[in-house]
Amino acid sequence: MNTATPRKIQTAFRLDANLVSRLKLKAKQEKKSLNHLVEEHLEKIAPDEDGLVWPRIKFPIEPNPKWKDLTMDIHITKEDLEKDDRLAYILSKGQER
């Protein structure tokens, strides 16, 4: 398992209200936060040793031919992509692996 301090991101899910109530009660009984309880159980589903990671984008970024009619003036640096795995993943869609 990775021993480095993990980077945390905030996310949201829509869950059944009854399930959330039960999870909050369970977390309270175990003297844990709801976040910690949920994260602990999700870690069991996708443990770090499985090697599940976001794909990294290749450089330089090649324009996708499907985008030829789209024109936008957006400047994304390599540093931006290194800081934001989701952005790197989105921009890597359609690139040859």
Q: Which of 2, 7, 10, 5 is nearest to 35 (CA)?
A: 10
Do residues 85 and 69 both lie within one domain?
yes
Do residues 42 and 78 both lie within one domain?
no
Q: Is the pLDDT of residue 3 over 60?
A: no
Do residues 4 and 47 both lie within one domain?
yes
- pLDDT tens for 52-87 read 566 655 555 666 666 666 656 667 777 877 788 887
Do residues 32 and 1 both lie within one domain?
yes
Domain count, the chain: 2
Q: Is the pLDDT of residue 1 over 60?
A: no
Do residues 38 and 72 both lie within one domain?
no
pLDDT in the model for residue 33: 95
**Which structural domain range is residue 6 located in?**
1-51
Do residues 38 and 26 both lie within one domain?
yes
pLDDT in the model for residue 60: 58
CB neighbour class for 10 (10 Å; exposed up to 12, middle 13-18, buried from 19): exposed
pLDDT in the model for residue 22: 96
With contact defined as beta carbons under 8 Å apart, do 92 and 57 qualify? yes
Do residues 40 and 58 both lie within one domain?
no
